[in-house]
Amino acid sequence: MIAFSKPTRGAEQQRLLFDRYPEFGFAGLQLKGGQYGDYLDDPAAGADRFRSDWGVEPGHISSLITMNPLDEAGRERLHALLVFAGAVGSQRVVLCHDVPKDGLDDSDLIRFAGELSDHAEEAAEQGVVLSLHHHTGEPVMHRRDFEVFFGAVRENTLRLTVDTGHLLMSGVNDIPGLLADFASVIDNVHLKDYADGEFRLLGQGSVDLISVLDAIAKLDPGITLCVDEESRAEIVEGLEVSRDFLAQHQTSIAFRGDTDAT
């Protein structure tokens, strides 16, 4: 499927995003923490409240993105989020591991891999996939970090969300090569452009998105491609530019500018 993600400010913008994304050809949303966080105090009841407030369309909550450490409070929040995700019918939880990279070594990455493998097994009990989103300034950042970390992840547990903008920001230039090398664990790709210290609309940055799309087309057809739109553009402009870019450069990835996109 092809999904869309964008931060919003307040309920009015969130309603606009929820109402408009299907008409631009996107099959689902990957939500940021501010778009669902108020429902986590009581995860099971919160799932019912979320549906009541925002509707029952499954695409509204295809994935949940969280910025979370793994201290005691972070583990409790992640547990609540996994329960909520399972109750609301989300496919995956995308975890940005909110721990500073400075001072870490390979032993820390290996330890984190074991801990996140445990949490991925917990997620599976809720019918949810846990996917690590690598991130600039966090433990898995550089090309070698991927090798060390995923070399220690237990098989068939944690998955990987690749973010093209964060890769370039982190100095990883061979994005197609990374996609090919880690194809066995990739379940989600955040398509994002970047240049001069900020994220850009697709096609307006320095990421070689055409080569990236060609590489994505060679991955398992079951992965999710998500336009993670974090530029300064407003919601409708972000949806429109993203749709037009994908329609023009679709290669072998299916995309149509209507609600039938999958």
Mean pLDDT in runs of 10 for the chain (262 residues)? 95 97 95 97 96 88 95 96 97 97 97 98 98 97 98 98 98 97 98 97 96 93 95 98 90 42 33
pTM over 0.75: yes
User: Would residue 125 be called left, alpha or beta, if left means φ above 0 and alpha means ψ between -120 and 50 degrees?
Assistant: alpha
Give the position of tokens 């070689």.
208
CB 109 within 8 A of CB 139: yes
> Tokens 């898995």 label which residue?
140
pLDDT value of residue 260: 36
Strand segments, DSSP code E, in the chain are 2-5, 28-31, 63-68, 92-97, 129-133, 159-163, 186-191, 193-195, 198-200, 224-228
**In whole angstroms, what is the distance from residue 181 CA to residue 158 CA?**
16
pLDDT on residue 10: 95
- Predicted local distance difference test score (pLDDT) of residue 257: 40
